[in-house]
Amino acid sequence: MTGVLYGVGLGPGAPDLITLRAARLIERASVVAYPTLAGVASFARSIAADLIAPDAREIVMDVPMSVERAPAQEAYDKGAAEIAATLDAGHDVICLCEGDPFFYGSFMYLFARLSERYRVEVVPGVTSVTACAARAGMPLAARNERLTVLPGPLPEAELRARIEGAESVVIMKVGRHLAKIRAVIEDLGLTADAVYVERATLAEEVVLPLADAPEKAPYFSMILLTKGADPWL
């Protein structure tokens, strides 16, 4: 019988923010899979490390960093082929995903390549969005409020227009786009409503008013911008 591919969300980083379902699947897994980016140790694997059986086989997709798409596509093609062969041999494969598999997750590249040929189960995870809000003590949205999620790499003019028309805003993937995003928020007079969070729920976590954020931000950083959910019903 053909195996099942599980795309398993591991949450924002703290190992105990893994769900019971994800933990059970990983503990029982004979094959796990995950990407590494340009040879750097996998964040997803580090979240789940204590749950992976010592004798589990690990399929590692080493995705190069490059401007062109082709090298990364090839890495996912190769990984998908290895996963497919494992499924064909009757083994389930547990793909480890930081956060949630369908929310800016690299699992989508495997899903696109394999979901028509194999049974795929996606296990949702806690996203960094609500984890950052929890750590910052900032409610995201109540009642009939809207929430907009924007990637930091968007062009400055688009960021500005999207933030202007929004209520609560979450800006993901801040990283090297911090200065640009900061300038937009400052220019809109919203700096006092903005909080900077990096590595939420990990020991190295940083939560600061945007005005006090460092000059350099890691990829796993986020800006929350909200005038505060209306809490009084």
Confirm or reject binding of residue 215 to a copy of itself (CB under 8 A).
Answer: no
Contacts of a copy of itself in 157-186 (CB under 8 A): 162, 165
Place of tokens 């590494």: 36
Instruction: Report the DSSP beta bridge partners of residue 194.
Output: 225
Q: Which residue, 45 or 113, has its beta carbon nearer to a copy of itself?
A: 113
Smallest distance from a copy of itself to CB 91, Å: 22
Confirm or reject binding of residue 232 to a copy of itself (CB under 8 A).
Answer: yes
Q: Which residue, 84 or 122, has its beta carbon nearer to a copy of itself?
A: 122
Residue pair 36/62 in contact by the 8 Å Cβ criterion: yes
Which of 139, 142, 40, 29 is closest to 93 using CA atoms? Answer: 29
Total binding residues for a copy of itself by CB under 8 A? 64
Confirm or reject binding of residue 111 to a copy of itself (CB under 8 A).
Answer: yes
Backbone angles phi, psi at 108, to 5 degrees: -60, -30
Q: Which amino acid type is present at position 211? A: A
Q: Which residue, 108 or 190, has its beta carbon nearer to a copy of itself?
A: 108
Counting Cβ atoms within 10 Å, is residue 129 exposed (0-12), middle (13-18) or buried (19+)? buried
Confirm or reject binding of residue 203 to a copy of itself (CB under 8 A).
Answer: no
CA atoms within 13 A on the CB side of 200: 28
Q: Among 27, 82, 139, 218, which residue interacts with a copy of itself (rule: CB under 8 A)? A: 139
Q: Which residue, 90 or 155, has its beta carbon nearer to a copy of itself?
A: 155
Buried b / exposed e over 187-221, threshold 16 CB at 10 Å, is: eeebeebbbbbbbbbbeebbbeebeebeeebeebb
Binding window for a copy of itself (CB under 8 A); candidates: 36-44, 82-90, 138-146, 206-214? 138-146
Q: Among 4, 60, 147, 206, which residue interacts with a copy of itself (rule: CB under 8 A)? A: 147
Contacts of a copy of itself in 15-74 (CB under 8 A): 15-21, 23-24, 69, 72-73
Q: Which residue, 49 or 89, has its beta carbon nearer to a copy of itself?
A: 49
DSSP letter at 85 equals H
DSSP letter at 194 equals E
Give me 38's structure tokens: 């340009």
Which of 232, 67, 219 is closest to 142 using CA atoms? Answer: 232
Within a 10 A sphere around the Cβ of 157, how many other Cβ atoms? Answer: 9
Interacting residues with a copy of itself (CB under 8 A): 9, 11-12, 14-21, 23-24, 69, 72-73, 76, 100-105, 108-109, 111-113, 115, 120, 122-127, 130-131, 133-135, 137-151, 153-154, 162, 165, 229, 231-233
